[in-house]
Amino acid sequence: MSEDQRPTAQILRDLLRTRGNYRDELKTNGSGGEFHAEWLRASDVVPRNPDWLWPGYLARRKISIFTGDSSLGKSQISCAFTAILTSTHEWPDKEVAPDGSVIILSAEDDPEDTIVPRLLAAGANLDRIHILKSVQSKEQKPLVFSVQSNLQIIVDKIDQVPDVCLLIVDPITAFLGGQIDSHRITEVRAALQPLKDAVETMNVAALIIAHPAKSTVLNALNYVAGSGAFTHGPRLAFMAITDPKLPDRRLFLPYKNSLGKLPDGLGYFIESAFVGEDRHILSSRIVWDSAPVTMTANEALAATVENQKSGAAKKADDFLRTNMADPGEPYSAAELIEKAKMEGINERTLQRRAKERGIKKTKKEFRGKTWWTREARDEED
């Protein structure tokens, strides 16, 4: 059999094996050995449109990344996508969805009590969904799946189930491999490269799910925890965030589309649902709403930060009013600050609000305590 006659899966097996050998050579002799470069003449390339599963969000041969806090239903949304592809065939924006199977890699949710109940709640066709249960070595020892070293398992599964159109990896950081520093851009890029090769060769879309950064960010491109490569590498990116104007509503907002126009965002709610033969298993599902979303991801982040600041300021004001009830009476600053910390109020916020409210700070001795005194006119709401 010539190289051009090899099955698609075999081509990818050879590619992955070559990548592994090359990394080994670099480690052993530092030279990298001989290698082959493949070039394309631009005039020989036939242009084509992206092969969309969902225009603006999911495309075959591409990686999309989805980020959001754990309380916002990222996994439920991935189950909603799975149901759409395997059963209902209509996206939230009324676009028609193709028909196909889905592979799920999940490191945090249990199939029996979480994943499958959520899929049932979403209306998915369970016969067309394949969940990776475990990986063992040749010696039957359990292994942690890695997109670097074990991707062949997924390639083989797609070879067995040729109508697979989507691979879900939740969360991506759990499947990078134990030696990867998720904050180093070169390491993350190298770890994601085999996944990129796989989706391109096997003609499937990949949805990788990530946790958000712990620090406050105003640029959605910095919203993913860890290296910037998590956002730079995927061609499409979107986020889940609480609607700054309606706290019970959630927003699904795109913030990167390297293949075309950025689509509008969508609103959704998370509702409870009972599933199982006797409807006795409590689960949850996504309910999309039809109200237009005009807010961008960056605007939502900025509004969220402002809401947090306003909420923190109000909490500090209430604390000062309650704990400095008597105008003109001196109160120990150290004791107030310590008590405020115990109630979750940041010292800087407390100091700032005390200053803005005109609270006087005095010391009775050079090295003595600092005392705060509220004036009688400080009775604003």
Are 132 and 260 found together in one domain?
A: yes
Residue ending a domain, among 293, 318, 335, is 293
120 in Cβ contact with 126 (< 8 Å): yes
Is 143 in the same domain as 64?
A: yes
Give the torsion through C-alpha atoms of 303, 307, 310, 314, to 10 deg: 170
Q: 197 and 16 in contact (C-beta within 8 Å)?
A: yes
Give the pLDDT score at 29.
Answer: 42
* pLDDT tens, per residue, the chain with 381 residues: 555 556 677 767 676 666 554 444 444 444 445 678 889 899 999 999 999 999 999 999 999 999 999 899 999 999 999 999 999 999 999 999 999 999 999 999 999 999 999 999 999 999 999 999 988 878 878 888 888 888 889 999 999 999 999 999 999 988 887 777 788 888 888 888 989 999 999 999 999 999 988 877 888 888 888 888 888 889 999 999 999 989 899 999 999 999 999 999 999 999 999 998 889 999 999 999 999 999 999 999 998 888 777 777 788 888 888 888 888 888 888 889 899 888 888 888 888 888 888 888 888 765 678 888 987 655 554
Residue 359 lies in a domain: yes
- 334 with 190, same domain? no
153, 135 contact by CB (below 8 A): yes
Same domain? 76 vs 215: yes
Asked, for residue 24, whether it belongs to a domain, the answer is: no
Same domain, 277 and 329: no
Give the pLDDT confidence score for residue 6 in this predicted structure: 62
Q: HSE, CB side, 13 Å, CA atoms: give it for residue 370.
A: 10
Question: In angstroms, what CA-CA distances link 22 with 6, 19, 60, 181, 193?
Answer: 22, 5, 28, 20, 14
Does residue 172 contact residue 230 with C-beta atoms inside 8 Å? Answer: yes
d(CA 84, CA 286): 12
Give the integer Cα–Cα distance in Å for 163 and 184: 35
Q: How far apart are CA 4 and CA 12, in angstroms?
A: 12
Structural domains counted in the chain: 2
Q: Is the same domain home to 315 and 270? A: no
Last residue of a domain, one of 293, 314, 338: 293
Largest Cα–Cα distance in the chain? 93
224 neighbors 54 (Cβ within 8 angstroms): no
One-letter-per-residue 3-state SS of the chain: CCHHHCCHHHHHHHHHHHHHHHHHHHHHHCCCCCCCCCCCCHHHCCCCCCCEEECCCEECCCEEEEECCHHHCHHHHHHHHHHHHHHHCECCCCCECCCCEEEEEECCCCHHHHHHHHHHHHCCCHHHEEECCCEECCCCCEECCCCCCCHHHHHHHHHHCCCEEEEEEECHHHHCCCCCCCCCHHHHHHHHHHHHHHHHHHCCEEEEEECECCCCCCCHHHCECCCCHHHHCCCEEEEEEECCCCCCCEEEEEEEECCCCCCCCEEEEEEEEEECCCCCEEEEEEEEECCCCCCCHHHHHHHHHHHHHHHHHHHHHHHHHHHCCCCCCEEEHHHHHHHHHHCCCCHHHHHHHHHHCCCEEEECCCCCCEEEECCCCCCCC
Same domain (yes/no): 67, 208: yes
Identify whether 100 is part of a domain.
yes
Domain CATH number, residue 367? 1.10.10
Dihedral over Cα of 192, 198, 201, 206: its sign: negative
pLDDT value of residue 25: 40
Any long-range contacts for 19-22 (C-beta under 8 Å, 24+ apart)?
19/193, 19/194, 19/197, 20/149
- 255 in the same domain as 354: no
Sheet containing 250-257: which strands, arranged edge to edge? 129-131, 101-106, 164-170, 205-210, 63-67, 236-242, 250-257, 266-275, 281-289
Q: Would you say residue 30 lies in a domain? A: no
Do 310 and 288 share a structural domain?
no
Residue 259 lies in a domain: yes
Residue 113 and residue 165 share a domain: yes
Residue 122 lies inside a defined structural domain of this protein: yes
Asked whether residue 336 falls in the same domain as residue 266, the answer is no
Same domain (yes/no): 288, 311: no
User: Does residue 378 belong to any structural domain of this protein?
Assistant: no
> Is residue 3 assigned to a domain?
no
Q: Specify the length of the chain in residues.
A: 381
Place of tokens 């689509």: 263
CB contact at 8 A, 296 and 90: no
What pLDDT is recorded for position 182?
80
Q: Residue 56: give the domain boundaries.
A: 49-293
CATH label of the domain that carries residue 174: 3.40.50.300
Mark which of 239, 272, 293 sits at the end of a domain.
293
In this prediction, residue 17 carries a pLDDT of: 64
- Identity of the residue numbered 280: H
Q: At what angle do helices 185-202 and 151-160 cross, to 10 degrees?
A: 20
Residue of 308, 301, 216 lying closest to 251 (CA atoms): 301
Model confidence, pTM: 0.77
